Structure 1
Amino acid sequence: MPRNRRIGRRLLQVVWHGIGFGVVALWIIPFLWVARTAFLPKASAVDTGWSWGWTLDNLTRVWQAAPFGQFFLNTLLVCTGVLTVQLVTLTMAAYAFARVRFVGRELVFMLFLVQIMVPPDVLIFSNYQILSDMGLLDTKIGIMLPYFASAFGVFLLRQSFKQLPYELEEAARVEGASRLRILAQIYVPLSRPVYVSFAIVSFSFHWNDFLWPLIVTNSEENRLLTVGLAMFAKSTESGAQWSDVSAATLIVSAPLMLGFLLFQRKVIGSFMHSGIKG
């Protein structure tokens, strides 16, 4: 009987591993096809046969055909700016909800969490109207402004702050430390895995965001990479430009992929150590 159980467990592991490899294949095969096509000559890209030829002309031609350098700088600026402001706002809000006592704290926090249940696309029209009234359309600050606060980040960080022993704060107060000093020297360092996890999620989300930057920007000076890629793909001739479109797609996606490959151990470790308990 124990032998049958071991065989059953091994078969179950094989099945789960097979499912996992299947999911990985569904994700990675399209990316490998795009990466391969980006380096193929134009004639080989539309050929049904296999070709071992490769070239860098596609990347050079695409980089010169559209201002991807400007798009890259815009995206980097927007992602960094949003994340910087988010880290400040969610830290202050999370500490207030976790440690500061005020009337209606739980009610305000519940109302704050309602934002998680509201899809961002629902607020596009109202956000557009507000930015129009403020004269911030087609500006980088207009792209960033609706994302300066994050209910999801506040929830994660609040739970992390509540798990820390309150005695640490009491000891710091006895030494005469202010709330800001306690926050900067105790809560923030001890919650570093949560900060790293949220930073990864926030940066990757805004790097890949498309709909809001498409609606709020009109000029190339303020377009992001995803919008620039869509405009470039739309402007190419149909049928024979797979190599150019694939090269542009690789330019857009390569920075995030390269960053994950270089820091995958830290990325995975931050998510493993940022588990939130009730």
Structure 2
Amino acid sequence: MTAQDTSLAARLDRVLMTFGAWLLALLWILPLAYAVWTAFHPSAYETNFTLTAPLTLENFPKAWVQAPFARYFLNTMILVAMTLSAQLVLSTFAAYAFARLKFPGKTILFTLVLLQLMVTPDILLVKNYETMGTLGLVDSILAIGLPYFASGFCIFLLRQTFMTIPKELDDAARIEGEGLIGTLWRVYIPLAKPTYLAFGLVSVSAHWNDFLWPLIVTNSVETRPLTVGLSVFSMTESGVEWSVINAATLMTSGPLLVGFLLFQRQFVQSFMRAGIK
């Protein structure tokens, strides 16, 4: 194969990949574009796509009043903050132990952590529900987040990051009089900030959008997160108003979309530095 043929093949590959990327982007953006259109237009223009259609914001206050979205937002923020905090604390100590400490059964335990990554959470729904019932936690925000407090993914990421930190920094910290906790707090955690940010983005997105487990374990408005509240709101509407439902959908997904648009550069850099492919 000549150099010209190689160059032509490389260009063809780029064209095909670009076309595929645009196609996937189009498939992703169309539902969002429809939601934005219907949310900002009267219900009479749900399928009437004309440039002269009047804009309106009345669908948003209507959706906000028809369902207790303020409570749903509060529940979701409590859930996301509680779950992420527990994951970061528990995973930090576990990852540090796997990366730097020597103890019997270390390899076996870490293998079990990796195996946990291969277990689909849906398989554990029944057993998790039985456990929450035994603990008396059914229909509570704690019940939604508790099964996710220990994250094998976070342990794996942090352990890989901690192992790249030179051991000489441990020795320097010990000379300064730091113990294990002090070394972890002053050396490892600051150097692993990109990894913490990368996992934080994954965790917040996953638990903000989680639906099946919160639907099963909650029964009341006081404990429902946004995703479950939105589904109940959609099902109880008599004569479906897609403009109102899509306004509620934008309110639900809006914080994540705005956060990504504002911090997309930091998002990409944190994933790259954390080694996520």
TM-score (norm: length of structure 1) = 0.95
Q: Give the letter for the 2:77 counterpart.
A: L
Alignment of 1:138 with 2:139, yes or no, is yes
SS in 2 for 1:117: coil
Give CA-to-partner distance per residue, 1:82-102, whole Å, 9 cap, x none. Answer: 001111000000001111100
Q: Which runs of 5+ in 2 are unaligned?
A: none
2:213 and 2:53 map into 1 onto residues whose CA distance is 40
Gaps of 5+ in 1: none
Q: Is the 8 A contact 1:44 1:51 kept in 2?
A: no
Residue matched to 1:248: 248
Runs of 4+ in 1 over 3 A off after TM superposition: 1-8, 46-51
What is the aligned partner in structure 2 of residue 99 from structure 1?
Answer: 100
- Per-residue CA deviation, residues 160-218 of structure 1 (Å, 9 max, x unaligned), is 11111111101211221011110011111111111111000000000000011111111
- Give 2:65's aligned residue: 64
1:274 counterpart = 2:250: no
Structure 2: how far apart are the matches of 1:112 and 1:273?
23
- RMSD, matched Cα: 1.6
CA distance in 1, matches of 2:225, 2:156: 29
SS state at 1:273 partner: helix
Deviates more, 1:250-259 or 1:38-47: 38-47
Secondary structure in 1 matching 2:202: helix
Contact 1:131-1:137 within 8 A present in 2 as well? yes
The residue aligned with 1:215 is 216
CA distance in 1, matches of 2:222, 2:52: 38
Query: Equivalent residue for 1:85?
Result: 86
Structural mapping, 1:91-170, within 5 Å = 91-170=92-171
SS state at 2:274 partner: coil
Q: Is 1:191 aligned with 2:176? A: no
Distance 1:129 1:74 in 2: 22
CA, structure 1 residues 66+81, in 2 after alignment: closer, same or farther (shift >3 Å)? same
Shift in alpha-carbon separation, 1:62–1:169, aligned structure 2, 3 A: same
Which range moved further: 44-53 or 195-204? 44-53
The alignment partner of 2:196 has SS state of: helix
Q: Is the 8 A contact 1:159 1:276 kept in 2?
A: no
Answer yes or no: is the 8 Å Cα contact 2:76–2:208 preserved in 1. Answer: yes
Deviation at 1:241, TM superposition (A): 1.2
